[in-house]
Amino acid sequence: MVIAMAFYASRVCLAGTLLACISCAPKVESTTSKVECRSPRSDNKTTIHAWKFEAVRKAIVEVVPREGDGVRMQDVVQEIGSHMPEDDLSELGDLKWFIQTVRLEMEVRGELVRETRAGETYFLCTAEKPEEQ
């Protein structure tokens, strides 16, 4: 009987700890808008929060040139962190994954143009640069 009560008490304590952890995690409202991201070469689609899409898209537009030879995406990935607010970076998650996801949707929209030269892929941006606030 004592063993059973100790086991029950430990489970209640563990459940309380988990609830405390869950309650202090950042909350995402169910009404948060989302963006469906497509791929230009397949029917694959994924949905991400609109604020994440817009933050990464804005950074890509700032980094990728509109003319010239373009830029390699690996160079964009290295530079993009400096074009995003620290708060966004800390809440975003896997930055490289989000860059890839947003980049593919931008290609579908015609906002990025992909060109392959000598085995390297380069990108030019056709989207308008956001106005400074």
User: So where are the chain's domains?
Assistant: 29-125
pLDDT score of 114 more than 70: yes
68 residue type, one letter = G
Give the pLDDT band of residue 83 (cuts 50, 70, 90).
confident
- What are the CA-CA distances from residue 122 to residues 28, 41, 94 (Å)? 36, 17, 22
The pLDDT tens digits for 14-41 are 444 433 443 444 434 445 899 999 999 9
CATH of domain 29-125: 1.10.10
Whole-model pTM: value is 0.73
CA 125 – CA 87 distance, rounded (Å): 25
CA 1 – CA 30 distance, rounded (Å): 44
Give the pLDDT band of residue 99 (cuts 50, 70, 90).
very high
pLDDT score of 68 more than 90: yes
